[in-house]
A and B are shown apart, each in its own frame.
Chain A
Amino acid sequence: MSKVAEVFASMEYGPAPESAVPALEWLEAHGRAFGHFIDGVLTGSEGDGFECANPATGRPLARIRQGTPQDVAKAVEAARRAQPDWEALGPHGRARHLYALARGIQKHARLFAVLESLDNGKPIRESRDLDIPLVARHFYHHAGWAQLMEEELPGYGPVGVIGQIIPWNFPMLMLAWKIAPALATGNTVVLKPAEFTPLTALRFAELCSEVGLPPGVVNVVTGDGLTGAALVAHPDVDKIAFTGSTEVGRIIREATAGSGKRLSLELGGKSPFLVFDDADLDSVVEGVVDAIWFNQGQVCCAGSRILVHEGVADALERKLRARMETLRMGDPLDKAVDMGAIVAPVQLERIEKLVARGREEGAEIWQPSWSVPQEGWFYPPTLCTGVQPAGTLAQVEIFGPVVVLMTFRTPEEAVELANDTRYGLAASVWSESINLALDVAPAIKAGTVWVNCTNLFDAASGFGGYRESGFGREGGKEGLWEYVRPAWEGRGEAVPERPPVPPATAHRATDAGGLPPIDRTAKLYVGGRQVRPDGEQSLTVAGHDGLAIGLVGRGNRKDVRNAVEAARKAQGSWAGRTAHNRAQILYYLAENLEARGDELCQRLAAFSGDAEDARLELASTVRRLFTFAAWADKWDGRVHATPFRNVTLAMPEPIGVMGLVCPDERPLLALATCVASLVSMGNAAVVVPSETAPLLATDLYQVLDTSDVPGGVVNIVTGRRAELVPTLAAHDDVDGVWYFGDRAGSAEAERLSVGNMKRTWVSYGRPVPWLQDAAGEHFLRESTQIKNVWIPYGE
């Protein structure tokens, strides 16, 4: 029988290969060996290196240089040299360059797509229809941000030289997410692509030259983790932007702690995929395909935990199995496959190992009946049932095409299970009830929530994590803040290390009309109550003349623990109040504070010896409370213009429980500024007040009480900073830490934050202009994180 007659009868699919020839010709033109791209020049390819391979065949594609610390240094130097001119080129000039890059990518779109699929193993459908179009879109969108920078980011300038380290799962897309916003805002970059997938980055480097990007603005240094470590360690890099595993993110956080380098991390996930009983189950099935079998499940935001209502679980499972049978796996360049290859043998082994462990733990593992290709590194789509929440498969990020299916009974239980993870990257919610979907979306701890859709991305919408999925956003206006710094922020001029607090000996004489004064007792303030310090010890506090003016409790680690517990208990309901109500309480706080103005001025003057300055600080404090009360119901989100029929809501949400370590300068104003900013946005705070002037904090207890601030929303633990901060910064139930103080303390706070990847904001000993009102928006940004909720519509 002829082939046509055979197919006429069988209706089988045949091969539909995309040609690899143009990509292979490009590789050959380079002798299948590449150097780095530094200062606008592709360097020589000779020297230490390694092969990158085609995952679909296991055969090598090209030889890649292993970047040395010297290579990194040269690249950073080039970037540093190029940065001033790039910044000076101005918004419109940079917009022209970004526009040219967008156009250039489109002009060579197919080459980029084929190269990506060859190098990474992803189906050509994905690289052609998703990755590369999104890359072009990202450059277009950020050409726009470059153009609008002066209007949209007044008072902000570039950070400087950015070190960027990207993963292998979306090599070109991650490059775009990193480079486009950095360049738009006037930074220059040194990018290290993943060792498995450097080819599109090298082709992009060529494109930079072709479109006339000034040398040094973009530099690409290839290599493995050691090269990345050299980039992280380089002292002249102003910021590191990393996408990859939480494990490596943690190493980078520790390595950069105290260096003053800015940091944004987009890390792992174990994203929930919630299916309610009123969902369109056939569409849910396709959602699962897009959630976990997209890019072979090698997606940080992959919907790897299906949480389905018990009543429809059997139906969904049956539909899923049927669908899995019709998935097609094979040559990534075949235009009719759904799944390609796993990027490298080490990843394949990891998937196999984790699934084996899940099986040992009692999970039922189901895979479709068709067999995977023999050559290359392939793993079949896998559905796991009978998995308990504590099971390996439910907890560990597998980074492969493996999904677990678990059930729930009520929306509350669904949310509880969804949040039962250290991660918080994304979530997907399926329901035909808008009430239910929009009730659940804000309750899930994740940077992105897709309603009735999944894995939608766009340059206009920020992407990034909660919790151990990292911090910072990529895309949208929220993503730009990662690449700019406010003009008021000091650069480099570190204040000296904080001198030890001098011990006070003699007591100031006080006159109480001939009688001895009534002893005043400043305890700690935890959960809305004044409590004695656990250690039952006190510290003497000295005034400006060195004479003792009072005692404060000496808090210890247990006091910190108790304060965090109280804060955690209070935070949810505080955030659940209306912004109007939080504003009212802040105004009331200002009112009551001013009523006790004379007393507070005296106290300030006792520490500073300057009565006039004390009045200035008090007035500023009251004004600042008004400022954040004003902001409480105005710091609202945006609706992003993403190119789908949907609303993409960018909502600022509180970070949660925040540790606040106050500076010694401006002891009342600084504390009030930070606390007001945090609580105005719905956070709860654990405050370690100035060690030299703690009485300003303890004087506030009654003010807080009388102003209706609910117990636990503000907690104050006085004591030795060195004894309290380590516990606070390391506490796994604290979501973020602000540290205002010297360089060493800042470094410690950053270093200790790695346990749960807290958001940190530290001053590195640089002065903060507490008297300037203009900094308010910056405080609000540091008090919130953006959640993007995608809501498609249409009946």
Chain B
Amino acid sequence: MSTSDRSIRERAPVSPMTVPPLQPGPLREGIRNPGMPLDLEWVQAQRVNRSAVERRAATLGTRRTVKKAWQAGWLLRGVTDMDLTTLSGDDTPGRVRRLCAKARTPVRQDLLEAMGVPADRVHVAAVCVYHQMIEPAVRALEGSPIPVAAVGAGFPHGLSPLPQRIQEIRASVDAGAREIDIVVTRGHVLTGGWEALYDEVAAFRDACGEVHLKTILATGELATLRNVARASLVCMMAGADFVKTSTGKEARNATLPVGLTMVRAVRAYAERTGYLVGFKPAGGIRTAKEALLWLILMREELGVRWTEPDLFRFGASSLLADIERQLEHHVTGRYSAHHRHPVA
């Protein structure tokens, strides 16, 4: 497999006529993003004013809030948007089975009953593991609608040889992963190698076949928001189903200004092509309050549709525990404790 396999997606000629249309077309709901030819001019035209983006990000949570039943409803939505994740060197099949059990019943039955929410509707969106843990995870989730997502392509650095990275994706697909979270080569972004980035992601997409592709930008290593916007666009052009902020291993994780920049790229892509691409913030999201902020960001910038699990995910490991405590507080009126909720 080489990059020449991406013949289905020809590169666009770089011409001054390829500016985004001013009038958006209809959204192509339900059709997977097939990508588009690389439009370098569009990539170069990205403008992100960091100070203005930070101001908007800082006021998202002061302009909007949800309380009481609304907060509980939003937090439950947050649970269903969750890629429950374990990405540790000491992961074992036993640990992954425990995580999968939690994925099936992320919130205590009695709490759901008290809130009047049917239990069968509340499960996490996916379980996210390393390649070696796909098989135990798939087995543990048998009979549930929860897919297994695998990180791949040299996660978290993305610096192993391209053929191996592609091979790893194929192996994960064969092992039963239905979603693949890959990392991009940060160097391509930092040096303006947009064609190389496009080719790389397109190759990953080919390797995925029908399996969904999430592209991790590792934004903490991309230096500027403009780079984040450009990289997001290139990944979507190359056929990404999701753009994702971080591996969780960078020094800086998902931040709201980065998220805002990415969802605006998602919106621009949808307006231009009609295709709906998902967004996944990951790394460092630990509290229910932060989860609400991210949901507010999605609802405000992209609309309610983009809070559904096929278009929005949290990559998180400890977030669920805090959400559970907040939900119990909603039910009982008393502040809760971690040990009152089953561990993952």
Contact = CB atoms under 8 A, between A and B. Distances in A.
Given A3-B69, A5-B73, A336-B66, A283 B56 contact: yes
B198 interface: no
Contact of A286 (B56, B62, B67, B117): B56
Interface stretch (A13-21, A255-263, A532-540, A549-557): A13-21
B252 interface: no
Nearest to B298: A11
B51 A2 contact: no
Interface residues of B, number: 43
Interface string B128-166: 000000000000000000000000000000000000000
Given A792-B51, A794-B50, A129 B62 contact: yes
B51 A645 contact: yes
- Rank and list the top 7 A-B pairs by shortest CB-CB distance, nearest first: A7-B73, A2-B116, A14-B70, A283-B52, A792-B51, A3-B69, A280-B49
Given A11-B307, A16-B65, A328-B64, 17 more contacts: A3-B73, A4-B73, A4-B76, A7-B70, A8-B77, A8-B121, A10-B304, A15-B67, A283-B49, A283-B56, A452-B51, A453-B52, A645-B51, A794-B51, A795-B50, A795-B225, A795-B226
B47 interface: yes
Contact of A12 (B51, B70, B116): B70
B63 A11 contact: no
Contacts of A720: none
Interface string A312-355: 00110010000000101000000110100000000000000000
Contacts of B118: 5
Given A125-B62, A286-B56, A314-B22, A14 B51 contact: no
Interface string B47-82: 111111111100100111111111011101100000
B65 A335 contact: yes
Contact of A2 (B53, B115, B295): B115
B258 to A, nearest CB: 14
B93 interface: no
B23 interface: yes
A6 B116 CA distance: 10
Contacts of A129: 59, 62
Taking each of B53, B66, B224, which has the highest tally of chain A beta carbons within 10 Å of its own beta carbon? Answer: B66
Interface bin, chain A: 35 or more
A1 interface: yes
Contacts of A57: none
Nearest to B50: A794
B260 to A, nearest CB: 8
Interface in B276-306: 295, 299-300, 304
B49 A336 contact: no
B264 A6 contact: no
Interface in B108-132: 115-118, 121
Nearest to B307: A11
B115 A5 contact: yes
Nearest to A314: B22
A11 B116 CA distance: 16
25 contacts: A2-B116, A2-B117, A5-B73, A5-B116, A5-B118, A7-B72, A8-B77, A8-B117, A10-B304, A11-B295, A13-B66, A14-B67, A15-B67, A278-B47, A280-B52, A282-B264, A283-B56, A286-B52, A287-B52, A318-B24, A453-B52, A644-B51, A646-B51, A792-B52, A794-B54
Interface in A370-407: none
Interface of B: 22-24, 47-56, 59, 62-70, 72-74, 76-77, 115-118, 121, 224-226, 264, 295, 299-300, 304, 307, 330
Contacts of B304: 10-11
A23 interface: no
A709 interface: no
A292 to B, nearest CB: 16
B64 A13 contact: yes
B63 A336 contact: yes
B117 A4 contact: yes
A710 to B, nearest CB: 40
A279 interface: yes
Given A280-B52, A453-B52, A11 B47 contact: no
Contacts of B73: 3-11
Contact of B69 (A7, A125, A280): A7
Nearest to B54: A794
A3 to B, nearest CB: 4
A577 to B, nearest CB: 33
A280 B22 contact: no
Given A3-B69, A5-B116, A11 B74 contact: yes
B64 A14 contact: no
B225 to A, nearest CB: 8
Contacts of B52: 280, 283, 286-287, 452-453, 792
A4 B115 contact: yes
A6 B224 CA distance: 40
A366 interface: no
A28 B221 CA distance: 57
B22 A795 contact: no
Taking each of B51, B66, B67, B72, which has the highest tally of chain A beta carbons within 10 Å of its own beta carbon? Answer: B51
Contact of A318 (B23, B59, B225): B23
Contact of B68 (A14, A286, A287, A453): A14
Interface string A261-299: 000000000000000001111110011001000000000
A126 B141 CA distance: 48
Nearest to A7: B73
Contact of A338 (B24, B63, B121, B225): B63
Contacts of B59: 129
A793 B51 contact: yes
A4 B55 CA distance: 31
Contacts of A282: 264
A432 interface: yes
B311 to A, nearest CB: 12
B28 to A, nearest CB: 18
A313 to B, nearest CB: 9
A125 B65 CA distance: 11
Contacts of B226: 795
Nearest to A645: B51
Contacts of B22: 314-315, 318
A14 B66 contact: yes
Given A5-B116, A318-B22, A11 B299 contact: yes
Nearest to A456: B55
Taking each of B47, B53, B62, B117, which has the highest tally of chain A beta carbons within 10 Å of its own beta carbon? Answer: B47
Nearest to A278: B47
Interface in A226-270: none
Contacts of A13: 64, 66, 70
A453 B55 contact: yes
